Amino acid sequence: EKDGTYYIGEFNATVIKDAQGKPKAFLASIRDISKKKKVEEALKQSEIRYKSLFDLSLLCIYIHDFEGKFLDANDAALDILGYKREEIPNINLATLLDVDQLSKAYRMIEEIKNIGFQKEAVEYRLLRKDGDFVWVEAEGTLLHKNGKPFAIQGIARDITKRVITLEALRQSEQKYKTLTENVNVGIYRNTIGPTGEFIEANPAIVKMFGHESKDAFLAIDVADLYQNPDDRKKFNEKMLVYGYVKDEILLLKKKNGSPFFASVSAVAVKDE
């Protein structure tokens, strides 16, 4: 430039010949393409950053077409599925998901095609190449090529441990429920305090105190079961001091007021 600054130019020249066909001059033009080069460089850097994020991310990142055929996947995604990079063309949603899960995946594809993104993450159970299953939480966005939608980019997180833990907890709770509902021993949970409120009770204890239903039993105060109010006070104090009571003989009363002796054991459960 006149002021000494530099710019990137695109130079074009044409030879001008005389009547005898000999070169006599050049016709040249220079066009400032600095902005174009800056845009190209910015795009190049953006692509480098995207590739680094894609390749090095610990999250599973993948791209598949609208039929579910995989076009690309990063190492994290390939590792969780048990495939090698050269096997990407063999990966398809239809090979990873069962019928119900596949239907859900196709519904998500339609949602992404319509609005450009997935409203919320969805859980899928995927079949690995070795036959094992993994659970992921996935979400996707629409990719464009030459201004037109052409594929979906997904990001997935491995939630297998979480799913296994929750399932183990569910089974444990089911076993506990089955046990408490079928034993002849009264089992209950209640709050600590002078009065006490029932939280849970099994059928045996409801029957023991002569109530018609579980709801009716849970509606009464714990203190109402004691024949002697001082016994409730002493029992509560032991729970607060020691955190448990074992084989305590108490005189309790049924709904109709008739007294009976019971051996009571309890353990305090603290909030997490």
Look at residue 160 in the predicted model and tell me its pLDDT.
94
> With 80 as the cut, is the pLDDT of residue 26 above it?
no
Look at residue 247 in the predicted model and tell me its pLDDT.
94
Look at residue 18 in the predicted model and tell me its pLDDT.
73
Look at residue 39 in the predicted model and tell me its pLDDT.
56
132's CB contacts (< 8 A; 6+ apart) are: 82
CATH of the domain spanning 57-164: 3.30.450.20
pTM of the model: 0.58
Look at residue 193 in the predicted model and tell me its pLDDT.
87
Question: Which residues in 7-24 are b (16+ Cβ under 10 Å) and which e?
Answer: eeeeeeeeeeeeeeeeee
Residues in the chain: 272
Asked if the domains 57-164 and 183-267 are classified in one and the same CATH topology, the answer is: yes
Percent of the chain's residues with pLDDT above 90: 68
> With 60 as the cut, is the pLDDT of residue 215 above it?
yes
Find which of 20-29, 39-48, 171-180, 205-214 is predicted with most confidence, using mean pLDDT: 205-214
> With 80 as the cut, is the pLDDT of residue 92 above it?
yes
Look at residue 42 in the predicted model and tell me its pLDDT.
56
Domain 183-267 has CATH 3.30.450.20: yes
For the chain, domain boundaries: 57-164, 183-267
Average pLDDT over residues 116-131: 94
131-140 LR contacts (CB < 8 Å, sep 24+): 132/82, 134/80, 134/81, 134/158, 134/160, 135/159, 135/160, 135/162, 135/163, 136/60, 136/80, 136/160, 138/60, 140/108, 140/109, 140/112
Torsion angles phi and psi, residue 51, rounded to 5: -65, -40
